[in-house]
Amino acid sequence: MSAAAASPELVPCIVDNKPFATPSSFPLVDPQDRKTILHNVATLPATSVGDVVASSRRAFEAWRDTPLKERRKLLHKAAALFEERIPELIQIEASETTASAGFAAFDVGYLAADAINETPNSMAAALRGEMAPADASGKRMLVTREPLGCVLSIVPWNAPSTLCMRAIVNPLAAGNVVVLKTSEHSPKIHSAIARVFIDAGLPAGVLNVIHVSPQDAPAVTKALIEEEFVRKVNFTGSTRIGRIIARLCAENLKPVVLELGGKAPVIVTQEADIAVAANNVVFGSLINQGQVCMSTANVIVHKSVRAEFEAAVQAIFASQGALLTASAKRNSAGAPDAKDHRLRALFTTSSADRVKALYDDAISGGAQIVAGQPGFDLDLGVVQPVLLRGSEKMKIFREEAFAPLVGLFEYETDDEAIRMANAPGAGLSSSIFCGDETKAWKLARRIESGAVHINAPSVHDDHFVPHGGFKTSGYGRFNGVDGVREFTLQKTVTFSPGTQIPFFIM
């Protein structure tokens, strides 16, 4: 049988470090041509959730009691193995998602590598206990940080390596066991990330990997959250699904970390370096086709520099040519060309349909095209990048496009700029371009966002600072000391000298 005629490989669920038998599978269709089956994916039914969680329960006590130095040593071994596999992981990500070769390399080789290399270095500080002042009787009070048990990590497809990596390594570092629910759009790269830890020597059951078909996802997710031993959930994805996850967790009294949708505003003041601002806005809005929760969405420009800023953006579009042209092009081997970093198609055709509706709404409301040449190939999900000058009445001002569709809005006063920045309701990331640092700091204090980047793009992640949102962008934090502590609970242990307590105080 020829390679072309061979059946697509099966991506299995992994329980106890080995493939887990499931009754059915679903095909993953190539997001580039929308017809080729890349591989089949084993789908876990809700009836098997108990078996998966039972495996996690069996593994927990030994992993929790493994000395910190030994857990850290294993994670460092996983980091070394990850470095060896970077070329392979880049290829898997670029083939399975709509990422360009350039973005896949950035996601795997920089962001995910940073997370797995640096998280073990945060463990000692994150898990250190505290001693409260002793009282006159000699009683001592110790506050420790303890793992919760099993953490359910639900991860998305759009930056699949780093978002999967942090969802695994943060709870593992804290001494938890993890059930990883992959995205139905990128199960192979998520499995490959998990396999790095397993191949580095992670004990059986400490990290279990499940795939779920879209139609089974609601029932399986509900069953997992209702399992008593699933003690915390972390979810990265849309605000709509995040609300559902939050409700399920609330009903079951489970804490949850949510990183949800964004609508990142960028304020360009009259003191800004316009060339820098234009460059960073184009980068922040178009990287990965705008399919990043921190993507620049609303560009809020001072009236006095609007024309200059628009001209600078137009010059970038004119000079970059093919780099800023979306395409579903693939090379002869069927994978994105490593030398072709052009924008890709969106991850689903329905996403492209939604973006076309946002564009049509803006144009019908009087929006003006500032830069880019509008174009839609809805059958392939291709959306050409466009910057529109619009008004707050348009849907693009409030709704997340998750695409290379950006709105530009004019302001006159600082109060007006802040109101516009905060109005859409999301609050994950933002930027300010301003040559006056004092002014920039004052503006940053007033933006309701988990991060404000001064003279830098809104798309930013660094392991040394906490990452998470305000308002409808969610709550909880990943990265570094804060990311490890997020998956612990504080426990108070007291040591008393054993004095008899007088009953008169009862």
Catalytic machinery residues: 259
Do β-strands 426-427 and 470-471 pair in parallel, antiparallel, or remain unpaired? antiparallel
Tokens of 116: 């797995």
In terms of C-beta density within 10 A (0-12 exposed, 13-18 middle, 19 or more buried), how is residue 307 classed?
A: exposed
Q: Which residues of 151-178 are buried (b: 16+ CB within 10 A; e: fewer)?
A: bbbbbbbbbbbbbbbbbbbbbbbbbbbb
Q: Concatenate the DSSP letters of all residues of 96-134 into one string.
A: HSS--HHHHHHIIIIIIHHHHHHHHHHHHHHT--EEEPP
Closest C-alpha to 277, from 294, 256, 258, 300:
300
**Cβ contact 82:116 at 8 Å:** yes
Count CB atoms within 10 A of the CB of residue 35. 7
Q: Concatenate the DSSP letters of all residues of 386-434 into one string.
A: EEEE--TTSHHHHS---SSEEEEEEESSHHHHHHHHHTTSEES-EEEE-
Count CB atoms within 10 A of the CB of residue 111. 18
Residues forming beta bridges with residue 189, ordered by sequence position: none
Vertex 74 angle, CA 72 and 78, to 5° = 115
Residues forming beta bridges with residue 411, ordered by sequence position: 302
Q: Report how far residue 26's alpha carbon sits from residue 29's, in angstroms, rounded to the nearest whole number.
A: 10
Tokens of 371: 């830069």
Give a three-class secondary structure readout of 161-199: HHHHHHHHHHHHHCCCEEEEECCCCCHHHHHHHHHHHHH
Quick one: how far is CA 385 from the chain centroid? 22
**Cβ contact 319:281 at 8 Å:** no
**Cβ contact 233:254 at 8 Å:** yes
Angular region, 482: left φ>0, alpha ψ -120 to 50, beta rest: alpha
Residues in the chain: 506
Q: Report how far residue 263's alpha carbon sits from residue 395's, in angstroms, rounded to the nearest whole number.
A: 12
